[in-house]
Chain A
Amino acid sequence: MPQLKLMRVEDAVKRYIHTRTSFSSSGFPLCRKPQIFWREILRQHINDRMDLQVISPGMGDETNGYLVAAGLVESCVTVFISQERPGTNPSLRRSIEHGIPRRVRIEDYSNLSMNTGLLAAGLNVPFMPCLSGRWGDFRKPGFGRRFNEDGTIPVHHYHKDIVMKDPFGSEVDVALIQGIFPDVSVLMAQAADPYGNTIVVGQLAYDQWTPFAARKHIIVVADHIADTEACKHFPNLTLVPGYAVSAVIPWYGGSWPCNCVGDYAEDIEHMNETLKRSKTQEGAEQCIRDYCLSYKNHDEYMDMIGKDKMKALEATPTRRLLDPMRQWFLDDAEVEKLTKQAEAERAKAEAASEAK
């Protein structure tokens, strides 16, 4: 039997997120982001410095802003600190412009060059050529990369992209984009089976390759746990195969207020409200208390969103993307049973490993 991968969000954060962990995020500013995972990091480490590195094309979303406002982030690799129409995240601006509560270091890319850097990491090569990055200030010194296990973050004082002429003689100049290697990659998905086979529908943005850039672990947050038959009927929609996944966290609504197409739309009203409240440090801290620290379990989390609000978000025309799969989604009781079974199997395996 393949290994059961189900894990509770609190256990996954304890297990995989430590001081100086570098982690990447799936999705785009409005789309399919594992917000519940970032909320859990805040719940466990609200008073810790952590020095995390966040690798995310869109750093402007609600919980990335909270991580920065709480002082948990040392640096971020990104292309965009806005949540598009709702606006630039004030917590990011406050940190970058005024050092409140601390100055986050930023390594800026464009979308294609950052995706190319993650592709390089996914293919386990140190760099990848690209037509983007040959001109402009992206070539300012970057962070350098953490190849050492001690977790230090060296600052390399050379241009982070090097331009070279095609050595095969075409005369085309290319930028060499350094691989971007997170320790952990966290992927928000519509569904996964209990063994980690992960189904994603809708826009993929960076996610064809970002999960595979992780040097250590791929973590999946799934709105639904599905029978493996769902993957077998639509195998091309299985973005990540089970063997590659370290943990599957079942959490419906885990992307809120971002969308998870097929399930719910983006909650623009909430984004506008929290961005407005985050204009002051005190406001951002109150938002953290209200939206990260206030719930005790999934039921209370759904109450926090509001039943009527969730119903409205679920009336999305994108539901048809996921409809053919719903017949294989497991109910809460079955998921809980499998999660307990996974916990027991893990405990047994770890005990055996320690005994050795």
Chain B
Amino acid sequence: MAKIGGKKELLEKFTQQEMMCCACSRYIPNDAIMDIGVGLGLVAANLAKEVYAPDAVFMYESGSVDATVVGDRLPEGIDDSVIQADTPCITDLLHVLGWATMSGRSSHTLLGFAQVDKYGNLNTTCMGNYYDPDIRFPGSGGAHDLGTGAVHPILLGPQSRRTLVDKLDYKTTLGYGEDGHFRERMWYPGKGPMVIVTNLGEYEPDPITHEFILTGVMAYSTVEECVETCGWDLKVSPDVKEVAPPTEAETKALREKLDREGRNTGWTKLANK
């Protein structure tokens, strides 16, 4: 296998959060109908709209459909006023998550996580015992519904042995279930997560077992780093590739439009931007 990754010097030019946004955005096609959540996923979705998928329709579960963001900042949440001033349709949650998502009309979504296991199941609820938790996280929001119904969920989050785990502390959102085959036993509109994007690599499900394996390494990372910081016995695809660093168009859209102050990706703190 040719040596891939390891170009640490790249981290002087862009941040790992920028890299995650870029990697996620490349998975979103122009005909996507997307459920949009909060956090870094919201930045990634808007980056896709700027660079790869200008015709994508964005739905916010609180009711705005095909909204144009008004003003000079991204929404602070999915119910921000900046996505309620220039939209042809505002409806309710039962429409977006009930009708559109559960009928398989939502093609893609981006879901963050506090923990993910090898079958792409997510925890966004707590660490420790649910009834007496060590750390309480925000909860599901719409993540459980989007994991159930959106056809191609994209998962993103930071990588460590505490976040990529063998066993979840709380099962919030279905990936492929505890044995990788839960979706086959019960009918689901969604097909299950298509990729996990972390700050170190990309992981795609094995087509038979649905166990996530390493298929991409961020250009500044290495296979070894991905394996060492994964909480399950990670398999590496023989075709593992290097994930290209941010392109000029991606960087321009992020830094000049979507995240000018670097609040989401932290790029303004770079010494050599």
Please list the residues of chain A having a beta carbon within 8 angstroms of any beta carbon in chain B.
Answer: 27-31, 60, 78-86, 88, 92-93, 96-97, 108-113, 115-116, 119, 131-138, 140, 171-173, 201-209, 259, 261, 265-266, 268, 316-318, 320-321
Contact = CB atoms under 8 A, between A and B. Distances in A.
B134 interface: yes
B131 to A, nearest CB: 8
B148 interface: yes
B92 A204 contact: yes
Interface string B167-181: 000111110010000
B261 interface: no
B133 interface: yes
Contact of A111 (B136, B142, B189): B142
Most buried by A among B38, B78, B80, B101: B80
Interface footprint category on B: 35 or more
23 contacts: A27-B79, A29-B77, A79-B139, A80-B140, A84-B79, A85-B38, A88-B136, A97-B136, A110-B140, A112-B93, A115-B93, A131-B189, A133-B144, A136-B172, A136-B174, A202-B90, A203-B92, A205-B79, A206-B92, A207-B92, A266-B77, A266-B80, A318-B85
Interface in B166-204: 170-174, 177, 182, 186-189
A140 B172 CA distance: 11
B64 interface: yes
Nearest to A85: B76
B138 A88 contact: yes
Given A29-B79, A137-B125, A321-B84, 6 more contacts: A78-B139, A80-B139, A84-B78, A136-B174, A317-B81, A318-B84
Lowest 7 A-B CB distances belong to which pairs?
Answer: A84-B77, A110-B144, A31-B79, A82-B138, A203-B63, A204-B92, A317-B85
Contacts of B211: none
Contact of A137 (B60, B86, B134, B170): B170
Given A110-B144, A111-B145, A115-B98, A172 B138 contact: no
Dominant secondary structure of chain A at its interface with chain B: loop
B62 A131 contact: no
A60 B134 contact: no
B245 to A, nearest CB: 27
Given A81-B139, A110-B143, A136 B171 contact: yes
B102 interface: yes
B91 interface: yes
A204 B63 contact: yes
Contact of A265 (B81, B170, B186): B81
B94 interface: yes
A137 B124 CA distance: 11
Given A79-B140, A110-B141, A111-B140, A205 B80 contact: no
Nearest to B97: A112
B55 to A, nearest CB: 23
B53 interface: no
A28 B79 contact: yes
B216 interface: no
Given A28-B62, A80-B139, A96-B136, A115 B171 contact: no
A273 to B, nearest CB: 14
Contacts of B81: 31, 202, 259, 261, 265-266, 316-318
Contacts of A108: 125, 139-140
A208 B92 contact: yes
B71 interface: yes
A80 B62 contact: no
Nearest to B127: A97
A333 B142 CA distance: 43
Nearest to A88: B138
A108 B136 CA distance: 12
B1 interface: no
Contacts of A207: 92
B135 interface: yes
A204 B91 contact: yes
Nearest to B37: A84
A123 B142 CA distance: 23
B117 to A, nearest CB: 12
A27 to B, nearest CB: 8
Contact of B130 (A110, A115, A140, A268): A140
Contacts of A268: 76
A261 B83 CA distance: 10
A265 B34 CA distance: 25
Contacts of B80: 30-31, 259, 266
A133 B139 CA distance: 14
B92 A111 contact: no
Contacts of A209: 94
A206 B138 CA distance: 18
Contacts of A80: 138-141
Nearest to A263: B81
Interface string B93-125: 110011001100000000000000000010001
A88 B188 CA distance: 31
B142 to A, nearest CB: 4
A137 B172 contact: yes
B221 to A, nearest CB: 28
